[in-house]
Homo-oligomer: A and B are copies of this chain.
Amino acid sequence: MMTKPLTQEMIASLENIVGQSFLFLDTETRNHYGHDETEDYVFPPSVVLKPGSTQEVAAIMKLANEYGVPVVPIGGRTGLSGGALSIYAGIGLSMERFNKIEIDEKNLQAIVEPAVITQVFREAAKEKGLFYPPDPSSQGSCTIGGNVAENAGGARAVKYGVTKDYVLNLEVVLPNGEIIWTGANTLKNSTGYNLTQLMVGSEGTLGIITKIVMKLLPDNSHNILMLVPFFKAGQACEAVAQIFRAGVVPSALEFMERDAIDWTLKYVDGVSLDIKDEVEAHLLIEVDGNYPDVLFAEAEKITQVLEQFDIDEILFADSEDQKNALWKLRRAVGEAVKSNSVYKEEDTVVPRYELPTLLEGIKTIGKKYGFHSVCYGHAGDGNLHVNIIKGDMTDENWKTEVPKGIREIFELTVSLKGTLSGEHGIGYVQKNHMDIAFNDPQLQLMKSIKKIFDPNNVLNPGKILPDSLV
């Protein structure tokens, strides 16, 4: 794709739309909005805009579409697949002024604007006795708009589903500047093609989300949290499927390899654990609900399953403080692992029973190509984050061997009926692996869908679809 330079004329027109104080050309601002949490990439936009209304977004898109200038919508910049990177420069569209929450208690729904921080939304719902379950580890800084764009998950997805399961309706600005609602504010909808779910997870390539109608649940009041040390990492993965077979659906079922927990204990303040040397991995398991007796019964069922495995003593969190500490630990794993070294993170997902096979395969592939990996993630969903650590690998091997290994990991994942990404999206970094998951007719369909929405390829170009296809 050729990048057109922004003309003075166009910049003047953009300033007319958003106002002088919401247009930024300085290097510092452009660099700030030029990276997210994806490896060490920086792709600054040529100009940063901060529109204040759907109408302004529409006017910007109309202009960009006419001029053929790329537009990249930007949320909390916590993405791990490079969705918010302005890889062809152009307009970086920070949605940060879209930050209203309107909770409709009567219908257990909310209208949320895309820049609302996920945790802020969850707390606003909780104040009204309502519950918005999706809780990505980055919930303190990621935005609802980004969550919708990437179809984000989180620890509670295993029981409550991912972002897509809560999105009822979206206000969207199309690349030509037209404004649509994708559906209706209803719990059920069999009215035409599901444009809502086509937009969810489309990573800002089909339209710019300006309002989100979310379903909420009644809040629940109790939970039990336990940390289970396994002497064999493979057994921790095996236990996951058996817990479900025992008839329990935990509200979280998280897996952490030994390195993940050790590195995180060094990284975060105020959390300490006494772990035996022989422990290879942990499961962090939560059950939730309104009735403590039920939770005790479920925890007892889970314990019975776990006792069949080679485990050390289970730690039951006995206070809110200890629960918070364990969750703080789990949420910091990603950052902690990444703080150690240059890294690449893969977001593999398989049917949950295949987890032990996947984990073993990843280690074998790592040995073959000479890299160390730290694995953790949402085991209840079969979603394993694989962090490949550069450490003291040579730059040469990092550039040539690791990509071969990553491809083999994805081939293994797909052969196990899994796929490339469970919750991070494809974005910039995984697009050239899409041919592993999809055959040519499928990719052509996706390309055609992109073309319908965005015939001039101005909206977040160079994402999702493989370069060979575009």
Chain A contact residues, CB within 8 Å of chain B: 104-109, 129, 150-153, 157-158, 161-162, 164-165, 174, 178, 180-195, 197-198, 200-202, 206, 217-219, 241, 244-249, 290-291, 293-294, 297, 347, 349-354, 378, 381-383, 414, 417-426, 434, 437-439, 441-442, 445-446, 448-450, 452-453, 464
Contact = CB atoms under 8 A, between A and B. Distances in A.
A79 to B, nearest CB: 11
A353 B108 CA distance: 9
Given A107-B351, A244-B218, A293-B291, A423 B194 contact: no
A358 to B, nearest CB: 11
Nearest to A177: B441
Dominant secondary structure of chain A at its interface with chain B = loop
26 contacts: A107-B241, A151-B190, A152-B190, A153-B188, A180-B439, A184-B418, A184-B437, A185-B351, A186-B422, A189-B349, A189-B421, A191-B434, A192-B434, A192-B446, A192-B464, A193-B206, A193-B464, A194-B200, A197-B198, A218-B245, A218-B246, A218-B247, A247-B290, A290-B294, A291-B293, A293-B293
A191 B249 contact: no
Contact of A353 (B106, B183, B241, B423): B106
Contact of A192 (B157, B219, B294, B426): B426
A322 B197 CA distance: 40
A191 B106 contact: no
Contacts of A108: 244-245
Contacts of A151: 188-190, 194
Nearest to A217: B249
Task: Determine which residue in A165, A174, A191, A424 has the highest number of CB atoms from chain B within 10 A of its CB, and name it.
Answer: A191
User: What 8 pairs across the A-B complex have the smallest Cβ distances?
Assistant: A184-B419, A197-B197, A188-B422, A185-B417, A106-B353, A107-B351, A218-B247, A448-B452
